[in-house]
Amino acid sequence: MFLKPGFGRAAALAALLSGVAPVALFAETPADTLVVADAIDDIVSIDPHEAFEFSGVDLNNNTYDSMIELDPAKPGELVPGLAESWSVDDDGMTYHFKIKSGITFSSGNPLTAEDAAGSLRRVVKMNKTPAFIITQFGLTAENVDEMITFDGDMVTLKTDKAYAPSFVYNCLTAGVANIVDMKTVMANEVDGDMGNAWLKANSAGTGAYILKSFKPNEGYVLEARRAIGAAMRR
């Protein structure tokens, strides 16, 4: 399994387990490829709104971005991700996020506030294992379309009561808050699954890498993006 490096953070897994033929283990690695061996048998799903295991989240860290991120050089410090700025109203329950312009998903589709709002709504409506990180703020499948809205380049998130803003912001740095290309994801919806089955073997993010292939318990291949407008991780 191979990873083609680029100008983002070069990290991905290509697990070579016992089922791989010996010739593959000793084959010469192409000059533009990095091979990393590790166990990835903890992965249940690589849909960013379902993934909750170390290896799955690690993979998604390279293919997706969230609105707010943590500065790896300054532990605990929040930095812009896909949102260039954010604020909370005096009521302590209404949060606003201004989405950056000029960013594209791996499909080439431009990032919009609708994608950001739709992604967070998707988390709540699918209600997979890590959804509690978002739903704990009073969001339900019944009210989320009113609690998370968008207008122009702004996303508005309302909570059921006032929480410490730092707590809300830190929750939005979690992998479950990654933003997906909603047009592409919903185009691959099957039987109302909101594209969940498709995202178990594909990626639809703004990250530095694109998922080229994924074989559960065996390995995956990430390819560096070359497109202008990709949101690169620090």
Of residues 183 and 11, more confidence is placed in 183
Q: What residues does each domain of the chain span?
A: 22-224
Per-residue confidence (pLDDT) for residue 2, from 0 to 100: 41
The yes/no answer on whether domain 22-224 falls in CATH 3.40.50.800 is: no
Per-residue confidence (pLDDT) for residue 167, from 0 to 100: 97
Tell me the pLDDT tens digit for each residue of 54-83: 888 889 999 999 999 999 899 889 999 999
Tell me the pLDDT tens digit for each residue of 129-183: 999 999 999 999 999 999 999 999 999 999 999 999 999 999 999 999 999 999 9
The yes-or-no verdict on residue 8 having pLDDT over 50 is: no
Per-residue confidence (pLDDT) for residue 228, from 0 to 100: 39
Mean pLDDT of 29-34: 61
SS (H, E, C) the chain: CCEECCCCCCCCCCCCCCCCCHHHHHCCCCCCCECCCCCCCCCCCCCCCCCCCHHHHHHHHCCCCCCEEECCCCCCCEEECCEEEEEECCCCCEEEEEECCCCECCCCCECCHHHHHHHHHHHHHHCCHHHHHHHCCCCCCCCHHHHEEEECCEEEEECCCCCCHHHHHHHCCCHHHCCCCHHHHHHCCCCCCCCCCHHHCCCCCCCCEEEEEEECCCEEEEEECCCCCCCCCC
Q: 215 forms bridges with which residues in the sheet?
A: 219
The yes-or-no verdict on residue 100 having pLDDT over 50 is: yes
Tell me the pLDDT tens digit for each residue of 201-213: 999 999 999 999 8
Per-residue confidence (pLDDT) for residue 105, from 0 to 100: 97
Per-residue confidence (pLDDT) for residue 27, from 0 to 100: 62
Q: Percentage of the chain with pLDDT > 90?
A: 68
Instruction: Categorize the per-residue pLDDT at 31 as very low, low, confident or very high, splitting at 50, 70 and 90.
Output: low
